[in-house]
């Protein structure tokens, strides 16, 4: 779920004031992107997890924010909570059922500017074969040419996004109500211009 979805920079269209020559398509840099989530564990703590294998891209239109878009595909078997036995259980039919549903996807359906550096991305999340809308609040961090000479000429855009969803809405009901139903989505994204 973290990685829900992700994925938001579509709103960069209206959040960035860059010269017309700026790239309008970005591919997520997996080495500097985190698709993470928090879930409450029995009321004692909030467990942090993330997905290690994903791919995504975003396009923005500075002149027409509504034309911006983002897509993200996450491989559910890549879930990582830093605990091998728990991760194996999370891949099972009790949770992500990674064999039957190897991916979950997020596709934006709308982008709205909410402030100078903030916006809201709405999209469809498909998990366990069920699709529901998810909204992400996004903060645009920076867009500039990459400072490392190896990447000379590559434009990089970065943003942070947060959102919530109910896992039970996607049919993931194992452990309720002791294990949290509301999932907090945490996305930290860098994209390289193409």
Closest residue by Cα to residue 62 from 140, 174, 160? 140
Residue 2 lies in a domain: no
Quickly state the pLDDT bin for 15 (edges 50, 70, 90).
very low
Q: How does DSSP classify residue 86? A: H
Residue 15 lies in a domain: yes
What is the per-residue pLDDT across 59-82, written as a single tens digit (0 to 9) for each?
766 666 677 789 999 999 999 999
What is the per-residue pLDDT across 162-177, written as a single tens digit (0 to 9) for each?
999 999 999 999 999 9
Residue 44 lies in a domain: yes
Residue 24 lies in a domain: yes
Residue 4 lies in a domain: no
* CATH number for the domain harbouring residue 87: 2.40.128.110
Residue 3 lies in a domain: no
pTM of the model: 0.83
CA distance 46 to 61: 37
Predicted pLDDT of residue 48: 97
Angle at 165 between CA 124 and CA 80, to 5 degrees: 95
Q: Is the per-residue pLDDT at 114 higher than 70?
A: yes
Q: Taking a C-beta distance cutoff of 8 angstroms, is the pair 123, 108 a contact?
A: yes
Average pLDDT over residues 83-87: 97
Query: Structural domain of residue 179, as residue ranges?
Result: 9-193
How many domains does the chain divide into?
1
Q: Is the per-residue pLDDT at 46 higher than 90?
A: yes
Question: What are residue 53's phi and psi, to 5 degrees?
Answer: -120, 115
Q: Where are the alpha helices (DSSP H) in the chain?
A: 12-15, 84-91
């Amino acid at each position: 779920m973290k990685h829900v979805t992700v994925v938001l920079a579509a709103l960069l269209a209206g959040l960035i004031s860059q010269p017309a020559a700026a790239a309008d398509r970005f591919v997520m840099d997996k080495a500097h992107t985190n698709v993470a989530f928090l879930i409450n564990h029995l009321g004692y703590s909030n467990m942090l997890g993330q997905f290690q294998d994903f791919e995504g891209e975003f396009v923005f239109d500075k002149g027409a924010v509504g034309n911006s878009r983002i897509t993200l595909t996450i491989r559910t078997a890549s879930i990582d909570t830093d605990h091998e036995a728990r991760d194996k259980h999370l891949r099972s039919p009790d949770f992500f059922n990674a064999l039957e549903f190897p991916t979950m996807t997020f596709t934006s359906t709308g982008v709205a500017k909410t402030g100078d550096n903030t916006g809201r991305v709405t999209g469809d999340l498909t998990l366990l074969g069920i699709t529901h809308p998810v909204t992400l609040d996004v903060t645009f961090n920076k867009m500039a040419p990459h400072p490392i000479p190896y990447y000379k000429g590559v434009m990089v855009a970065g943003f942070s996004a947060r959102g919530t969803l109910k896992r039970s809405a996607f049919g993931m009901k194992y452990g309720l109500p002791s294990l949290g139903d509301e999932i907090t989505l945490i996305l930290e994204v860098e994209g390289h211009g193409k």
